[in-house]
Chains A and B, each alone.
Chain A
Amino acid sequence: MISNQILQSTIDGLKGITRVDLCVCDTEGKALATTFPDAEDHEVTIMAFVDSPADSQVIQGYQFFKVFDEHQLEYILLARGSGDDVYMVGKVVVFQIQSLLVAYKERFDKDNFIKNLLLDNLLLVDIYNRAKKLHIDISVRRVVFVIETKNENDSAALETVKSLFAARNKDFITAVDEKNIILVKELKPNENYEDMEKTAKVILDMLNTEAMTKVHVAYGTIVNEIKEVSRSYKEAKMALDVGKIFYSDKHVVAYNNLGIGRLIYQLPMSLCRMFIKEIFDGKSPDDLDEETLTTINKFFENNLNVSETSRQLYIHRNTLVYRLDKLQKSTGLDLRVFEDAITFKIALMVVKYMNYMESLNN
C-alpha cells in the first residue's frame, strides 16, 4: 500500500539518524527499499524467517523483524548488526512503518468514503458513522469544485491541485472518472461565494500556467452538512454541463449563476422539439448562414440597439435593417420587438441544448 519511494525515504531518514543500515522486503524476500547494496542475498533466509513463528531473530549479523498490519504480515525488516542498540533501532523502524500503514489506510479509507459520499452510495446512517470513525467533521460548511481537464488521467493537473491545497488537510481531492478532478473544500466561517470564485480562478490559472492544460472549473452551492456534499457535487457537474452548452466563453462556472441556461437544461427533449417546430416550422436555426447568425448575436449583445450594432458590425444601418427584415420574412419573428427577440433567443439556446444532448447520445 505504501509506495516504495516512501519506504525508501523513511529508511534513508532513519539511517541518517541512527547510522544503522536497513532494508525492507516483501514476504517473498524481494527488497522494496534498502540502504545497503547486497540486500538480494538474503532472499532464502527471509523466506525461512517468514515461515518461522519468531517475530524477530538474529541471522548472519542482521536483525530480522516482522512488520504486521492488523495481524497480517506485510513486510520483513532487516537491520545490519546484532547488538541491543540495533535491536532497539529495528523496533523503532517497525513501529514507524506500522504507523505509516495506519495513516495510509486512513487516507485510503477517507478517499473511498468521499467517493462513495459523492456518488450517493452510502446510507444516511453510514455517512455519520463512517465520518465519525474517520475523524471527518459532520457539520461544517463545504463546497465541491469539479475540474474538467482536456486530457484523461492528467497526472500533472492532479498533482498541481493536490500541491495547491496540501496545506489544508481538511480538503479532499479525489477523482471518480478519468476527466474530472474533484475538490471537496472545507470553508472558513467567513468565506462566501466571492471567495469560491477566487478559488476557482486560482485553480484555473494555476492549471493553465503550471500543468499547462486546458481546464474548466465549476462549483456547486455551499452546504452545511456532510450528507449534502453529494448535492453540491451534482450541482457542480450540472454547472459544468450548462457552461459547456451555453457559456462556452467562460472557464469558471458557478451553479448559482447559470441564468436562463439552468431552466433550459431541465427541459425534456420532446418539449424542446415541439417548441422548435413551432418557432422554425421544421427548419433549424443552424441552417441560417454565418452572417445572419453573427448579426443576430451582435444585435442581442447590444440590447437590440440598431445604431450600435451596425457600428460594431461596420455596416450601414439600412443593411442591418434589411437583414432583420429578411429574417422576419423567413421566421415571422421581428427581433426589434422585445417579445419576438426573447422567443428567438430562447429558441437558439434550446437548439444548442438539443445539439449537445444529441452529441452525447451519438
Chain B
Amino acid sequence: MASLSLKNISKVFPNGFIAVKDFSMEIEDGEFVVFIGPSGCGKSTILRMIAGLEDITAGEIYIGDRLVNDLETQERDVAMIFQNYMLYPNLSAYENMAFGLKMRNIGRDEMDQAIRRAAEILDITSILDKKPRTLTRAQQQRVALGRAMAKDPKVFLLDEPLMNLDEKLRCQMRREIKRVQEKLGATVIYVTDDQREAMDLGTRIVVMNDGVVQQIGTPEELYEKPANKFVAGYMGTPQMNMFEARVEQDGKRAVLCFSDHRVLLNEERSAPLLEGGYAGKEIVCGVRPEDIHTDREFVAANPDTRVEAVVQVYEMLGTEVFLHFQVSNTGFITRTGTESEARPGDTIAVCLDTTRIHLFDKSTEITISNR
C-alpha cells in the first residue's frame, strides 16, 4: 500500500466548467479517506484524476513517491470499484476476478494465488466456480470487491460502490469493506454523498462544495466543530437548525436576539463574538436537534435560553421522536425521547443548549465559535 499526495490540483473542463479548485491533501498509507458533498461538487472528479481517467489542469499527484501525472491508468497501480459495476454474466466468479489480471498479462500461478488470497479474505472460496446469476446480491458485491483486491493495488478508489444496493445490504457491505480495509491495511479513497456512510467508514472526511474543499477532518471534528455553515448543515441527520440573530452585549456576555426572543450566551461562547466585533451585527446560529431540550428540568435550570414554540409535527421513529416546531417564523427540529407528551398544536417551552451552539459569520458563512 502507499501514501498519496495531492498538490494544488485543479480541473477545468474544456467547456469552462470548473470542477476542482486548487485542492491539496496528504493521505497517509493505510488511511480510509471519504470524499463527500452534493452532486457535481467535484468529489468524483478528484477520484478520477487520481485514477488517471481525467486529465489534470494544474497540480501534481504522487502515489507513494512517484509522480503519476503523466502515467496511464494501468501504470498507476490502483484498483477501482464504481457505482455501475457488473459481473461478466458468462464467467464464473473465479474468471470474473481473473479477467482484469489476464489483461495485464499476469502469470497463471501468480494470478491464481492472488484470486485465492482475495477469496479467502472475502470468504467466497466456495463460490468461485459459480456463475453470477446463481449468486446472491451480497456475494456478487463481494466478487466485485475481490476483483479489485486481486489486482493487489497500492490504492483502492471506490466511487459510490454501494449506491445501487438496498439499505440492509448497504450496511452489511459497509462493515465488510471496513473489515477488509483494516485487514489489508489498505489506502482507500471513497466517494459518497451519504453522510452516514462517510461518518461510518472514514478515518478522515473531505467535505466539498462547488469544487472547493470546505473542511478536512475526522468524523467527530466535522460534526462537533464544523468550519462553516455548509459543513454544519451537510453533516448530521436531521440537519442542524439554522436561524439568523442579532448580537447584543450584556456586560461580558453576548445575547442572541431573534424575533422577540433573547438567548443569553455564557462567557466562553460570548468571547469570540464580542472580541470579533459582532456586537450589533447579524450572524447565523446553528443548533443540532439533540441540543434543543424539551424536558422540564433542563428548561427550568436554563431560563436564559428558554423560548416558546408551537409543535407542528410529531415524528415517532420507535426509539426516538423528532418534534418539528416553529419559533416565530423559523422552523426547528429536535430529537427527543419517546416519553415526550408534546403533540401538534401544543405550545411548549424549549431550551437551546448554548454551550453547544454554533455561530457563523453571515456574509462569509465561516465559523465564529469553532475558530
Contacts and interface: CB of A to CB of B under 8 A. Distances in A.
A272 to B, nearest CB: 17
B53 A352 contact: no
A164 interface: yes
Chain A interface bracket (under 10, 10 to 19, 20 to 34, 35 or more): 20 to 34
A163 B83 contact: no
B74 to A, nearest CB: 5
B82 interface: yes
Given A248-B13, A249-B19, A214 B53 contact: yes
B15 A248 contact: yes
Contacts of A156: 103
Interface in A262-303: 293-294, 297-298, 301
A246 B15 contact: yes
Interface in B1-54: 13-19, 48, 51-54
A297 B17 contact: yes
Interface stretch (A87-95, A124-132, A185-193, A205-213): A205-213
A304 to B, nearest CB: 16
Interface in A177-226: 198, 201-202, 204-206, 208-214
Interface string B83-109: 111101111000000011001000000
Given A166-B88, A166-B89, A205 B99 contact: no
A111 B172 CA distance: 44
A40 interface: no
A69 B72 CA distance: 45
Contacts of B88: 163-164, 166
A310 to B, nearest CB: 10
Contacts of A201: 83-84
Contacts of A352: 14-15
Nearest to A165: B89
Please classify the interface of chain A as helix (H, G, I), strand (E, B), loop, or mixed, using the class held by over half of its residues.
helix
B274 to A, nearest CB: 26
A166 B148 CA distance: 22
Contact of A312 (B19, B83, B100, B210): B210
A204 B15 contact: no
Contact of A167 (B52, B53, B90): B90
B92 to A, nearest CB: 12
A209 B82 contact: yes
A162 to B, nearest CB: 9
B82 A205 contact: yes
Please classify the interface of chain B as helix (H, G, I), strand (E, B), loop, or mixed, using the class held by over half of its residues.
loop
With a 10 A CB-CB cut-off, give which of B19, B85, B103 has the most chain A CB atoms: B103
A339 interface: no
Contacts of B15: 246-249, 352
A248 B86 CA distance: 26
Given A248-B13, A249-B17, A205 B51 contact: no
Interface in A219-277: 246-249
B270 to A, nearest CB: 28
B103 to A, nearest CB: 5
B171 to A, nearest CB: 23
A210 B96 CA distance: 10
Interface residues of B, number: 33
B73 interface: yes
Contacts of B90: 163, 166-167
A159 interface: yes
B13 A211 contact: no
A254 to B, nearest CB: 15
A202 B84 contact: yes
Contacts of B89: 164, 166-167
Nearest to B72: A212
A248 B19 CA distance: 12
B86 A164 contact: yes
Nearest to A294: B18
Contacts of B177: none
A209 B81 contact: yes
B235 interface: no
Nearest to A159: B103
Nearest to B55: A214
Interface string A66-109: 00000000000000000000000000000000000000000000
B51 A208 contact: yes
A293 B16 contact: yes
Contact of A212 (B16, B74, B86, B210): B74
Nearest to B11: A249
B351 interface: no
Query: Top 7 closest A-B pairs, CB basis?
Result: A205-B82, A167-B89, A212-B73, A205-B84, A249-B13, A297-B16, A209-B80
24 contacts: A160-B99, A163-B88, A163-B90, A164-B86, A164-B88, A166-B90, A206-B85, A208-B53, A208-B82, A209-B80, A210-B100, A210-B147, A212-B100, A214-B73, A246-B15, A248-B14, A248-B17, A249-B15, A293-B16, A294-B18, A297-B16, A297-B17, A301-B17, A352-B14
Given A166-B90, A198-B84, 6 more contacts: A164-B88, A206-B85, A210-B103, A213-B73, A249-B19, A297-B17
